[in-house]
A and B are shown apart, each in its own frame.
Chain A
Amino acid sequence: MVKSWILQKKKRKDIRPYLLLTLPAFSLFLFFFIIPMLSGLFFSLTNWNGISQTWSFNGLANFRRMFNDPALYDSLQFSFVYAVLVVSTILPLSIILAILLNKIIRLKALFRAIYFFPAMLSMIVSALIWKNIFYHFIPDMGRIVGIEFLQKSLFSSKDTAILGILIIEIWQGTAIPMVIILAGLQSIPQELYEVATLDGANPGQQFRYITLPFLVPVLQMVLMLLIKSGILVYEYVFATTEGGPGRATLSITLLILHKALGYRGAKVDFSYGITFSVLVFAIIAVLSVIQLRLTSKREVGQL
């Protein structure tokens, strides 16, 4: 028995049928994913505008131009401020909602279903629904009630436009972190709480010493999810302010598309647009490395 097992192990498995299974699908991935990605990196070093037949290398000129472009700093500022706002509102809110939903017994499924519902809709539809609310309903309500500051749309001022977008994000973007954290809470063994209660630990202490340590991996994941979706926000801005007023809500994704495909009479400049996406790539790569570090540390810690 053991002998035949060893013999089987020693004989190299014939991998040809497995290659037949995998290579066609893998070459499609190379062709439609890896090649565009590499050609993106390549074209950021050229002056191709996307239309003309000729182009030439121009080294790092695109990058030099990008770092002197005030639009870059406006959009980086917006994207990072927005990401910070997204994290600092949605993270606590989704923790609170998950804890409350975990506590209640009656109507639990109903409340969970209602709170999750916004995640079912497309981001563009949510943004359009809220756009109407901000442009028509809230100002109308302000007029009826006679409150001055409600009469102006949030999107019409440079300082408040970001808040309008944040409200849409909170409305829709809390759902998924909430159910993930809820699942994390449900995985905590109940005996721990019973023992802690017997030992006289109050709810605050139980949260600090039982709930939080168990939730750390889940929270790290949610945090990364929120940071990325905050920095890369697109649909909400595109459907509501299109980056305005001025450049107040010009998210980095929107900026890439404006630069590369032309916007409001601006010149189409393909390779310059790609240069911005290389920067986004670098930012996301740094975040991903941090994320991987955190997760690998966690696994060591758990052992």
Chain B
Amino acid sequence: MKKECGWNNLHAVISMVLIYAFLIVGAVLILFPMYMTIGNAFKTKREILHSIFSPPTSFYLENLRVAIFEQQAMRYLFNSFYTTASSTILVITVIPMLAYGIIRNIERLIFKIMFFTIVSGIFIPFQIIMLPMIKQLNYLKLLSPLGLIIMATIFGYPVNVFLYTGYLKTVPIEIEEAAIIDGCGVAKLFWSIVYALIKPMTATIIILHGLGTWNDFLLPNLLLNRDARMWTLPIFQYSFQSKFTTQYNMVYALFLFTIIPITVLYIFTQKYIIGGIVKGALKG
């Protein structure tokens, strides 16, 4: 009996060691491109041609300087930030109102129609909308950051209306009824009471929508690629690669520049980000 226990223990230890070994190998594979990015961003052109795998010998900042100042990476960082922030703010103000109005009257036909029209958008691929959308926005002179903010918000409707209505169903209705009896108007009721109750869902949606808009390439590229001053960071990154094909120390410097802000954000908020994405996915 004792002996068997010992064997079991050994077995468990070995399997744990194997699990950790497997996970470490996987982590190295995941981080390898990051090592490449950091390692090569600080190399001179000669150094990178000489050896790509070795760590850099000196802290050569010229690549980053050229990428950030001469190629104006800051402008694109700002463009990305401003479009993402605007669209996210719109999503967390317009959509909860819409979802609230719909779900509290879902027994009425008109609200039912609204609900199903929007939510069935989850199943409609971007590909069917994108071409007519370009024509329509062109006609309205909205092939601009403003157009991008509007469209990013519109494409956020289906999933976020679904998430907010789902969450609002769980919010107890008694408080609202009491407020209405006290003579509180619907809009005031929503902003002063209900909005505070749905904050957890708002936090999740800020993460999901913010990250999605920040990283999106296809939509901004379709809307903005004619005017280089309006580009967002992913479009700039793409064009930078073709501009500096042979100087990949430069290309890596820009990778580093774009990865740093998101990594810093990730390190401090990873628990919420992962949690938010899981919550969004399981409900959607």
Q: Which A positions have Cβ atoms within 8 angstroms of B?
A: 13, 15, 17-22, 25-26, 28-30, 32-37, 39-41, 43, 50, 97, 100-101, 103-104, 109, 111-126, 128-133, 136-137, 140-141, 171, 176, 179-180, 182-183, 218, 221, 225, 232, 234-235, 239, 252-253, 256, 260, 270, 273-274, 277-278, 280-281, 284-285, 288
Is the CB–CB distance between B127 and A253 below 8 Å?
yes
Q: Are B217 and A280 in contact (CB under 8 A)?
A: no
Report whether B125 and A284 are in contact in the complex, using a CB–CB cutoff of 8 Å: yes
Beyond A37-B132, A125-B215, 11 extra complex contacts between A and B, CB < 8 Å: A25-B94, A29-B154, A29-B157, A111-B27, A117-B34, A132-B36, A133-B36, A176-B281, A239-B238, A253-B218, A280-B125
Interface size class of B (residues with CB under 8 A): 35 or more
Residues in A whose Cβ lies below 8 Å from that of B5: none
> B132's contact among A104, A115, A117, A274, by CB below 8 Å, is which?
A274
Lowest 9 A-B CB distances belong to which pairs?
A: A122-B215, A22-B101, A17-B186, A21-B101, A36-B132, A288-B123, A124-B217, A18-B101, A281-B128
Nearest CB to that of B150 among chain A residues?
Answer: A32
B138 → chain A, closest Cβ, in Å?
A: 10
Tell me if A115 and B27 are in contact (CB < 8 A): yes
A33 to B, closest residue via Cβ: B154
Instruction: Select which of B108, B132, B218, B259 is within 8 A of A125 by beta carbon.
Output: B259
**Interface of chain A, helix or strand or loop or mixed?**
helix
What residue of chain B has the Cβ atom nearest to residue A29's Cβ? B157
Query: A129-B33, A253-B127 given as contacts; is B117 within 8 A of A34 (CB)?
Result: yes
**Chain B residues closer than 8 Å to A18, beta-carbon distance:** 101, 104-105, 111, 186
**Min C-beta distance of A292 to chain B, whole Å:** 9
Assembled-state Cα–Cα distance A176/B279 (Å): 11
> In the complex the two chains form, what is the Cα distance from A113 to B212 in whole Å?
19
Q: Roughly how many angstroms separate A117 CA and B117 CA in the complex, as a whole number?
A: 35
Question: Which of the residues A30, A121, A130 comes within 8 Å of B215, measured between beta carbons?
Answer: A121
Check if A39 sits within 8 Å of B132, measured CB to CB. Answer: yes
- CB<8 Å pairs between A and B, sample of 15: A15-B108, A29-B157, A97-B26, A111-B27, A115-B30, A122-B233, A125-B215, A128-B255, A136-B52, A235-B217, A277-B125, A281-B125, A284-B124, A284-B125, A288-B123
Which residue on B lies nearest to A111, using beta carbons? B23
Please, what's the 1-or-0 string for B179-222, where 1 marks a CB less than 8 Å from any CB in chain A?
00000011100100000000000000000000100111110000
Contact B33 A179 (CB under 8 A): no
- Note all chain A residues with C-beta closer than 8 A to B124: 37, 281, 284
Residues of B within 8 A of A36 (CB): 129, 132-133, 136
A129 to B218, CA, bound (A): 18
Q: Tell me which of A21, A25, A117, A137 contacts B266 (CB under 8 A).
A: A117
Q: Which of B151, B237, B248 contacts A136 (CB under 8 A)?
A: B248
Q: Are B154 and A137 in contact (CB under 8 A)?
A: no
CB distance from A94 to the nearest CB of B (A): 12
Instruction: Among B31, B101, B108, B234, point to the contact of A124 (Cβ < 8 A).
Output: B234
Contacts of B278 in A (CB 8 A): 179-180, 182-183
How far is the CB of A131 from the nearest CB of chain B, in Å? 8
Chain A min CB distance to B19 (Å): 5
Is B98 a contact of A280 with CB atoms below 8 Å? Answer: no
B interface secondary structure, majority = helix
In this assembly, does B277 line the interface, its C-beta being within 8 Å of a C-beta of chain A?
Answer: yes
The interface residues of chain A lying within 8 Å CB-to-CB of B143 are none
| Interface flags, B132-171, vs A, CB<8A=1, else 0 | 1101100000000000001100110100000000000000
Q: How far, in whole Å, are A127 and B130 apart by their CA atoms in the complex?
A: 22
With beta carbons under 8 angstroms apart, the residue of B104, B127, B274 that contacts A281 is B127
The distance from the CB of A120 to the nearest CB of chain B, in whole angstroms, is: 5
B281 and A21 contacting across the interface, CB-CB below 8 Å: no
Q: What is the bound-complex CA distance between A160 and B274, given in angstroms?
A: 33
Cβ of B131 under 8 Å from chain A: yes
Task: Quote the shortest CB–CB distance from B64 to chain A (angstroms).
Answer: 16
Complex: chain B residue closest to A168, CB-CB: B33
The answer for the CA separation of A227 and B104 in the assembled complex, in Å, is 35
CB distance from A289 to the nearest CB of B (A): 9
Give min CB distance, B79 to chain A, whole Å.
Answer: 14
B238 touches A128 (CB 8 A): yes
Check A21/B187 contact, CB under 8 A, given A115-B26, A122-B214, A176-B281: yes
Given the contacts A123-B217, A235-B217, A113 and B270 also touching, CB distance less than 8 Å: yes
Query: Closest residue to A176 on the B side, CB-wise?
Result: B277
* B277 and A285 contact, CB distance less than 8 A: no
Q: Which residues of A contact B277 (CB under 8 A)?
A: 119, 176, 179
Q: Are B131 and A40 in contact (CB under 8 A)?
A: yes
Contact A104 B20 (CB under 8 A): yes
Known: A137-B36, A180-B282. A33 touches B98 (CB 8 A): no
Chain A: minimal CB distance from B137 (Å) = 9
Q: Does B86 contact A (CB under 8 A)?
A: no
B121's nearest neighbour on chain A, judged by CB, is A33
Instruction: Let me know if A278 and B128 touch, CB within 8 A.
Output: yes
Residues from chain A with a CB closer than 8 A to the CB of B94 are 25, 28
Contact: A120 with B157, CB < 8 Å? no
Residues in B82-111 with C-beta less than 8 Å from chain A: 94-95, 97-98, 100-102, 104-105, 108, 110-111
